[in-house]
Amino acid sequence: MKVRIKKLNENAILPTYGSDCAAGADLYSCGGEDIVIKAGQTVLVHTGIALEIPDGYAGFIYARSGIATKRGLAPANKVGVVDSDYRGEVMVALHNHSNTDQTIEGGERIAQMVIAPYLKVDFELSDELDDTSRGAGGFGSTGTK
């Protein structure tokens, strides 16, 4: 599948895959200047790219495991969604969960994006739902292990 991409900034770096079997393509911060994200702060990090994702697909933006576990940096909204009709710049709201300020260098890998299909459904109002063995059991209702 081809996904057309447009550089909105000359410093933008196109997404890359870290290995042949990687599901997520690394997204890079754009710009030559470092960005300091203070402890507990969220900063909108520019990538300098726009995408043309095919209909029926979306770009799902996830944390990169390295900077999330080692530096406490992850998308503030946990999973970002880039819809197929969005043509603006892809940005990542990066949150610093650590107790120390963190610096993102220009051109650093900041998140990963998975292009995946999704189902669009019609929601139908109903007075009744089918019974299941779980029923309305919520958090922890299926066991603790």
Q: For the segment 14-24, what is each residue's pLDDT rounded down to a tens digit? A: 999 999 999 99
Q: How far is CA 76 from CA 35, 50, 72, in A?
A: 16, 20, 11
Structure tokens at 50: 């726009």
Q: For the segment 54-85, what is each residue's pLDDT rounded down to a tens digit? A: 999 999 999 999 999 999 999 999 999 999 99
The pLDDT of residue 141 is: 77
What is the CB neighbour count within 10 angstroms for residue 107?
14
* Separation CA 121–CA 23 (nearest Å): 25
Domains of the chain, by residue range, sit at: 4-117
Max CA-CA distance within the chain?
A: 57
Residue 113 CA, distance from chain mean position: 6
Which CATH number is 4-117 given?
A: 2.70.40.10
* Separation CA 120–CA 141 (nearest Å): 29
